Amino acid sequence: MNVRRSAAVLAAVAVIGAATPAAADPSPSPSQAFPSALYGDKDPKFDGVWRQSLALLAQDTVGVKPAAKSVEWLTRQQCEDGGFASYRSDPTTACDAKTMLDTNATSAAVQALAALGGHDDTTRKAVGWLKSVQNEDGGWGYSPGGASDTNSTSVVIGALAAAGEKPEQVEKDGRSPHDALLKLALPCGGDGDGAFAFQPDKKGKLAANADATAAGVLGSLGKGMVVEPGEKSGEKSDATCEKAATPQQAAANGAGYLTAALAEDGNHLMSALAGAEPQPDFGNTADAAVALAARGDTEQAEKAVRWLEKNSASWAAQSGPAAYAQLVFAAHATGTNPRDFGGADLVKQLGAEGPAPQAAEKTKTKASDEKEDSGSDFFGVWWYVGVCLVAGIGIGFLFTGRKKQRQL
């Protein structure tokens, strides 16, 4: 889901409110104060709603109840028509024609608020807005009216599913989101066969994109950001690419591509940004692990997570809440204990990025149960996910597309 956003990589495309008021000017300033309910301490101009949503969703995933003011901040960001902008510094001011609404931020908010429960009116309005801006090919771009891309379409699918909709039945001119994704899947027999492209280039050509492929696998499976471990334990992707006549086959082909790409570079993906030195892409590796786990390709997903346990600490510390959330989602999808992630407690690290959550804990993962049984403190602070690393690497499908769209 090229849905993540880091300020420098919003490349050309139409092509991944709090109780405390925000500062009026969201542009960076050494002395600027941001809302105390907001996760992360970086400028929220391009990713405030996105990182807040992931933060809340990550907390819920591990059974921690977020601070009420953080949830309120998110709900107050919604515009009257149901859409969300990337960030509104003053939610008391009504949205107007100049407000840049964002399918990715809206979809992330839906997934978070649906998971938390008790926000049916908010999510219903948001889903209504998403349906109203669906493209004729069945997909979505980052901004309303923008050309459909794999990442945006996939994150919207996750929102629809979270809200109780059947994505395959949400159609525009007889075309569903899955129809859009199938057109963005590379055919078998060439370079990158089985992968998804972010979107076609100006000549209509599709280029394999690991970030988009992770998003496309999840979208084709009708999954959101949170994948429960062991849902299809034991399945493996056939390395043979077959014509993708169905979303399931497209997901299988994409999973095969990711498996090969991860194995080729030592169980992680590499950054492919133009002009950048090749280096590990931590965020997209985490996203790939979630996508593979969603299809039941647990062996390679777990290998990727083991690599992240050993190598991602510095990246996460530099990148902040969004990175911690990606690691949390990858850990959760593979049944890995996020409180002992290569010796690090992701729960505490995320907890340091925002206001203290409420004490109640709703659920326990298998790994967490084992941790509690061993006498450790299972009720650690679970915190989240916020800003994406501006550097442009390791931002994963949950941010890249957002950036690309923003630069237009």
Instruction: Establish if 270 belongs to a structural domain.
Output: yes
Residue 97 domain-assigned? Answer: yes
Q: Is residue 192 part of a domain?
A: yes
Strand partners, 341: 344
**CA distance linking residue 103 with residue 134, whole number of Å:** 10
- The two structure tokens encoding residue 387: 């800003």
Span 278-299, average pLDDT: 95
Q: Where are the beta strands (DSSP E) in 195-316?
A: 269-270, 280-281
Does the residue 217 lie in any domain?
Answer: yes
pLDDT given at position 289: 98
Total number of domains constituting the chain: 1
What's this model's pTM, rounded to 2 decimal places?
A: 0.82
Res 238: pLDDT:
57
Q: What is the average pLDDT across 147-168?
A: 98
Query: Given a cut of 80, is residue 340 above it in pLDDT?
Result: yes
* H or E, element range at 360: strand 358-361
**pLDDT score for 365:** 45
Per-residue CA distances from 227 to 16, 75, 254, 267, 390 (Å): 18, 24, 17, 20, 26
The model's confidence at residue 237, banded by pLDDT at 50, 70 and 90, is low
At residue 278 the predicted structure's pLDDT band, cuts being 50, 70 and 90, is confident
Between vectors from CA 99 to CA 13 and to CA 96, what angle results, nearest 5°?
140
Give the pLDDT score at 234.
42
The pLDDT score that the predictor gives to residue 143 is 97
Kind and range of the H or E run holding 359? strand 358-361
What mean pLDDT comes out for the span 364-378? Answer: 41
The residue with greater pLDDT, 335 or 382, is 335
Mean pLDDT score across all residues of the chain: 83
* CATH number of the domain that residue 173 is part of: 1.50.10
Over the stretch 64-117, which tens digit does the pLDDT of each residue have? 999 999 999 999 999 999 999 999 999 999 999 999 999 999 999 999 999 999
Residue type, 327: L
Q: Is residue 2 part of a domain?
A: no
> Which of 113-127, 142-156, 162-176, 344-358 shows the lowest mean pLDDT across its residues?
344-358
Let me know if residue 393 belongs to a domain: yes
Question: In the block, which residue shows the tokens 């190598």?
Answer: 311
What pLDDT shows up at residue 32? Answer: 57
- Residue 184 within any structural domain of the chain: yes
Flag whether pLDDT at 46 surpasses 70.
Answer: yes
Instruction: Give residue 56's pLDDT.
Output: 93
In a domain, 1, yes or no: no
Structural domain harbouring 312 = 7-406
Are 390 and 46 in contact by the 8 Å Cβ rule? The answer is: no
pLDDT cut 70: percent of the chain above it: 77
